A and B are shown apart, each in its own frame.
Chain A
Amino acid sequence: MAVENRDPAVRLDRGFWLVTLLLAVLAAIGIVYWALLAPITSWLPEAVDKAQQIDSLSRFLMASGTALFIFVAGYLLYFSIAFRRRASDGPDAIGVQIHDNNKLELWWTIVPAVFVVVMAIFSIQIWAGIQLGDNNGMVVEALGHQWFYSFRYPDVHGEITNEMHLPLGTPVTLHVTSYDVIHSFWVPDMRIKADMVPGIINTLRFTPTKVGRYQIVCTEFCGTLHGEMNKQYLVIDTPQKYKAWYQGWQQKNAHASDAIPTQSTGAISLSGGNVNAGKMLFTQKCSACHALAPFSQKVVGPGLKGVLSDPAHPNLVDGAKATPENVAKILQKGYKGDMGQMPNQTANGLTDKDIADLVAFLKSTK
């Protein structure tokens, strides 16, 4: 290589150094912008402590990535223009015949390697702050369903399905899992997510730092209405407001548990059944034993898809004709006999309205 280095043809000219200077200035601007100026919090608020940590890593990554890209793309563009074949060159012109330069190659191995080490150390530091730590925070559980979230709190019976409230400044240990398929619990303003995997409990730990109402988004594909799983919110309240909300819900829920549906006696009115509500109920209450599939796909009981219109199976388990009224009757009274057993309305925790919804849903499956 020493011989080639003396060759004037392989000297770097002034144009190269000027371009290098220009790219360095551009890269510096990019670094300063991402490291200090970029208004990340006005794009996405930082709702919890972890968001700030992740954003500091993001700033570092964006800054270094921008600088690297400016250099690569800049040289690419400059060399493409400066070393293009000109009309005066003729078709047989060849470039400078250099094969390698050990010093240069060593540098562009070592510098990225050092950078990778720095990046890894920084990432591990942030990682430790996020992933390590004990579960001493206030424990809350979030469960994924097709296609909504439900939340459980300590000392409260039952689940809540509209909003999840958390108090400002209290460390939280959030356990997530799923009832059916894989979902994900992501609050973009928290910057962290965990997949909700059936059979596995994943944990997120954080401390809310900013009062507000933040969208919860599912990022693991979970079926037909995956795209609609962004309609629930995490609400971060001041501790006082949170306490009021929590007690209110506790009381309401106490009421609700008094009114746990009992088996109604007369025939249930099926008018006004809601297909969508029935669909959710089906996943919650029925899908453990019944698949939403043709009759032959038995889980515990038979598949129920098209149960009201399947010509091959005109009769129900109790011998009655497969009509909406008779299906409602089985849901109401349950079944016990040669074919096994199914809990009744009380045991399943269904209201009359729930039964109407379920029947409407089953009717809609064909």
Chain B
Amino acid sequence: MAVAAVHAGGIADHIHPEPEGFIRKYVFSIDHKIIGIQYLVTTFMFLVLGGMLAELIRVQLMNANGGFMTPDTYNEVYSIHGSTMVWLVIIPMLTGAFGNFVFPLQIGARDVAFPWLNMLSFWLFPPAGLMLYGSFLMGAPAAGWTEYPPMSLQGQAGTSMWCAAIFLVGVSSTLTGINFLVTLLKMRAPGMTYTRMPLFCWAQFVTAPLLMIATTALGAALAALFVERQFGVPFFDPTKGGSPLLWQHMFWFYSHPAVYIMILPVFGIVSEVFPTFARKPIFGYKMIAFSSCSIAILGFMVWAHHMFTSGMAPFLQLPFMVLTMLIAIPTGIKIFSWVATLWGGKIHFSTAMLFAVGFIATFTLGGITGVFLAAVPFDLHAHGTYFIVAHLHYVLVGGSLMGVFSGLYFWFPKMTGRLMSEKLGKWTFWLFFIGFNGTFLPMHNMGLLGMPRRVAEYDPQFQTLNRIASSFSFLMTFAILLIIINALYSIKNGKKCGHNPWNARTLEWQIPSPPHYYNFKHIPSVFANPYDFNEPLPYRGLEDELTDAPPPVPAAAH
């Protein structure tokens, strides 16, 4: 108690009264954990919607001449599929859901720096989703998630709605970025130095500035497109003096850093799951943290590699090519470090670990094809084909989404106090892994042999490959449904598991599951990096967390 007394009474121990009533507790909540779960539920709902659209795409492509949908409907479907998965699923899932729930606990904070702003971030997001899907009623956008003008200028009325919806998501992302950055800078527990932060915090720490800086470029681009569509101000229309390439530069100045927004937090998840289940310190902690930073910085300098065929001065292609290739080095360091973490471990293959190991394999393949595409001459062939579709799904599904599933199995017990079914989980992993590779591996071949992306019908020579891809995609979708069913079932019926089922060492696992609204009774002090499995836990001040001891008196009652 002596230690606790030292820590009680400081500014950090100031606790606000617990909100009362269903609405304040679960709907308009300012608690980062509730907001995280709100994000998680919402993003999974959009994952189901986006996945249904994906299956419509795969059904259409079973036949070379399409026929399941009209080309116009097909174009709407794949455009909304892409927009959903990028903006309504992966980004808010990794930052909004896992970021919100996990990292304030990991740094020993009671909440994020601006809880009300956090609530605003979340509540901007479901309306944006409704607007995006509402656009189906007025003619959905149909020029892909990239919405290149002049095509998007001709688009139906819903295209303007799309601009507004994505703008809202962008505002939400930007606010989240500010909130997370300030929290990570100012609210770490005493002794939680930068080199003692768990790597998931590092991942969020690097992602936050990306959210803040890159998203503003997207906002500007969307505003311009909206103004041009609604009021005829010619930013992009070449017949009136605009430039279609302006959009591409602005869009990719956001969307390339955005791919790191969609993968860096996953690197963080994997960096937590690997040491926990291999029972080993993460190999090369500093290099992993440092490589995240260099990826984020380089990520701002490579956007035009999406535009090698669009029309740019040839010499301008060189710096973008070389800088893009450089990203392979820090990414390689991470992959090698994870693999080395397994060496000499005592690996427990829980479902979370299976997904994390599977992530390394598929993400590595997606990363390698990414380096191919950086080489301008190769890109001149592969750009705009199914090779790109294969590459981006290897990094976004095989990468980001598998990381998300790993994180879900890993932190679900912290959110609910119950385990998801491990037996079903392992089956799910293999179904997903086989389904995923069967769906997207053949797309490399399609693309290199000449099948362009975004087509509602295609040359009959690709029909066999497409049928293979479609068949496996059903397996993958089934696996995702099993994950959702498993989670829903386990909320009430999962095995109760105490506060630390994985015997993990980061701070969030040292407090009850689910945590109290105030997280920590007393803000702990941190004495070392969390990953030394042969040392005692490097925290002080946690003695009361698992006892019935009351928390400090809420401030309002003073």
Q: Which residues of A are in contact with B by a Cβ distance under 8 Å?
A: 9-10, 43-44, 53-54, 57-58, 61-62, 65, 68-69, 72-73, 75-76, 79-80, 83-85, 89, 91-101, 104-105, 108-109, 112-113, 116, 119-120, 123-124, 126-127, 130-132, 180-182, 184, 186, 188, 191-195, 197-200, 202, 215, 217-228, 230, 288
Contacts and interface: CB of A to CB of B under 8 A. Distances in A.
B304 interface: no
A76 B349 CA distance: 13
Given A80-B357, A94-B533, A195 B150 contact: no
B551 interface: no
Given A112-B329, A225-B71, A198 B452 contact: no
A80 B348 contact: no
Given A84-B349, A230-B459, A219 B287 contact: no
A37 B453 CA distance: 29
Contacts of B335: 72
A112 B332 contact: yes
A100 B151 contact: no
Contact of A215 (B328, B340, B450, B533): B450
A180 B371 CA distance: 33
A53 B377 contact: yes
A54 B344 contact: no
Interface in B421-462: 448-450, 452-459
Contacts of A89: 346
Contacts of A53: 377
Nearest to A72: B364
B365 A69 contact: yes
A96, A119, A186, A219 — most chain B CB neighbours (10 Å): A219
Contact of B380 (A54, A200, A222, A288): A54
A178 to B, nearest CB: 9
B243 to A, nearest CB: 7
Nearest to A16: B343
Contacts of A126: 375, 377
B532 interface: yes
Interface string B194-218: 0000000000000000000000000
Contacts of B378: 54, 57-58, 61, 123
A89 B349 CA distance: 14
A94 B279 contact: yes
B343 A79 contact: yes
Interface in B319-364: 321-322, 325-326, 328-329, 332-333, 335-337, 339-340, 342-349, 357, 360-361, 364
Contacts of B281: 97-99
Contacts of B459: 215, 230
Contacts of B309: 184, 193-195, 202
A186 B71 CA distance: 21
A80 B342 contact: yes
A100 B452 CA distance: 45
B148 interface: yes
B388 to A, nearest CB: 9
B514 interface: no
Interface string B497-541: 000000100000000000000000000000000011110000000
Contact of A200 (B75, B239, B245): B245
A124 B318 contact: yes
Given A109-B333, A182-B151, A199-B244, A227 B280 contact: no
B280 A97 contact: yes
B550 interface: no
A220 B449 CA distance: 17
Pairs A-B, 4 closest by C-beta atoms: A219-B384, A199-B238, A227-B455, A96-B344
Contacts of B4: none
B318 A127 contact: yes
B494 interface: no
Nearest to A125: B377
Interface in B134-150: 143-144, 148, 150
B368 interface: yes
Contact of A85 (B144, B286, B348, B364): B348
Given A54-B378, A127-B321, A198-B238, A73 B361 contact: yes
A197 B310 contact: yes
Given A131-B314, A215-B450, A223-B151, A197 B346 contact: no
B237 to A, nearest CB: 9
Contacts of B381: 54, 58, 188, 191-193
